[in-house]
Amino acid sequence: MKRTAGILMPITSLPGKYGIGCFSEEAYRFVDFLQESGQSWWQMLPIHPTGFGDSPYQSFSTFAGNPYMIDLEALEAEGVLTKAECACVFFGEDDAEVDYEAQYNNRYPLLRKAYERSEISKNPDYRRFVAENDWWLSDYALFMALKKHFGGQCWYEWPEDICRRYGYAMDHYRRELYFEIEFHMYLQFKFFEQYWQLKKYANDRGIGMIGDIPIYVAMDSADTWAHPELFQLDEDNRPLAVAGCPPDGFSPTGQLWGNPLYRWEYHRKTGYAWWLSRLWYVFRLYDITRIDHFRGFDAYFSIPYGAASAAEGHWEQGPGIDLFRCAENHLGWNKVIAEDLGYVTDSVRDLVRESGFAGMKVLEFAFDSRDSGAAGDYLPHNYPDNCVAYTGTHDNETLKGWLHSIPQKELAGVRAYLSDWYTPQALLHKSLIALAMGSVAALCIIPMQDHLGLDNGSRINTPSTIGHNWCWRMKKEQLTAALRWEIRETTERYGRKR
């Protein structure tokens, strides 16, 4: 991989009208900013519909796109919405954060108006999209229509005939909910139409898209409903065990995510057919794919369903290199970032090395006095070139917030490593960005909040918490000429300019 740099910035964190970042003019201007500041990559995080906790890692589908990201101004230009209709809708009080409740309650009625005026069934491009994506789209659209029909209930609480997908029930609800199903197909058509336009604009300007594939899918998802045989479920379609992480220095009770676990033996017997379709799909969507929680393919943490905390869990063996050898044989070589963070063992390191994927190095982890053994792996002088250097990820504190929250002993360790005892703490994040940029890592990704020097009030996500996550939005005026120049100078200085 060529020596390059990029910025981590969720689509939903972009500035602009109507309460949430989307595929609007601001997305194109952000691509321009990336190009002008010498960057090569835009890491976007998952772009799927958000489910429980507004998290894109708890999505209703591993294949669908998030309707919130559809640009309403583009629909105005098409004539299916008016500016007045959009202007009178409440999308939230603060343009610096996403109000998901307002989006859910008020954006969908607008999108429904656009659908009803679109005469979409007459559009040959729409019909082609539906035909090409029927292998996932028909299940997803029916699933979303059924969720509304049954008042938002999880699918295993639906009547038995449709919960278990009996043929006569599937036929009945496809007739009964025809227009609701078509509405969700329309949303996916518009989402991907706008996504591919933005991706082409970025690629034409030398900017590649880095996207995420979460290792797990949500229990309440079209994927689990349509393919329960893939997961560790009992005869009543309830999980036998769920995903999470064991207790560590960051969380004394561990993390209980609640996602259903895979029946890896079943996947192995089918030649990993579902996984191959999933990987093929994301390899088309993105220029580089980041595989979330990569260590779960080596061994995964299994927590009994209904357990009070992750402390009751234990480790089970994952598919290992077998899955990725199968993927390479069928799909060829693709650029992948393996999120090899968390409890990393020698066998996880071996799996990353054997796969040939680039691992992740997070600078904030390098000075953690609670885990001094593993911390050394994240010090830049120990990086291999086949890795991606981060100051922090979407799950970490912002760099400035982290510098203000760590104990004085750790802050002294940062200054000692930098040989810098004089830079004011308020500016020390710039020195750490330079440290990551100057590392041997082939790719360096810096979260937008770190370039902006923002504190933890602008943090994207705090793991194991429900509430104020995935809400941060950048303001348009923060993308200044001075910031563009500073990022470009740093990128150029360390030989990462595209």
Catalytic residue among 97, 139, 287, 292: 292
pLDDT score for 371: 62
Written as one letter, the residue type at 467 is: G
- pLDDT higher for 51 or 201? 201
Q: Which two tokens stand for residue 257?
A: 């995510």
Q: For residues 297-304, give the mean pLDDT.
A: 97
- Confirm if 206 and 498 have CB atoms less than 8 A apart: yes
The verdict on whether 377 is a catalytic residue reads no
pLDDT score for 468: 86
Give 314: exposed, middle or buried? Use CB within 10 Å, 0-12, 13-18, 19+: exposed
Q: Which domains does the chain have, with CATH numbers?
A: 4-64+195-493 (3.20.20.80)
Catalytic residue among 26, 212, 339, 397: 339
Cβ-based neighbours of 325, under 8 Å, separated by 6 or more: none
Over its C-alpha atoms, the chain yields an Rg (Å, rounded) of 23
- Confirm if 474 and 447 have CB atoms less than 8 A apart: no
Residue that has been written with the tokens 């390479």 in this structure = 328
The verdict on whether 395 is a catalytic residue reads yes
Q: How many CA atoms lie within 13 A of 200 on its CB side?
A: 6
Residue that has been written with the tokens 């049954």 in this structure = 150
DSSP designation for 363: G
126-148 pLDDT, tens digit each: 999 999 999 999 999 999 999 99
Asked whether the predicted pLDDT for residue 374 surpasses 70, the reply is no
| Widest pairwise Cα distance in the chain | 74
- pLDDT higher for 490 or 55? 490
Q: How many CA atoms lie within 13 A of 495 on its CB side?
A: 7
The verdict on whether 204 is a catalytic residue reads no
Catalytic residue among 36, 85, 95, 395: 395
pLDDT score for 372: 53
32-76 pLDDT, tens digit each: 999 999 999 999 999 999 987 899 999 999 999 999 999 999 999
The phi and psi torsions of 242 (rounded to 5 degrees) equal: -130, 170
pLDDT score for 51: 83
392-441 pLDDT, tens digit each: 999 999 999 999 999 999 999 999 999 999 999 999 999 999 999 999 99
Q: For the whole model, what pTM was predicted?
A: 0.96
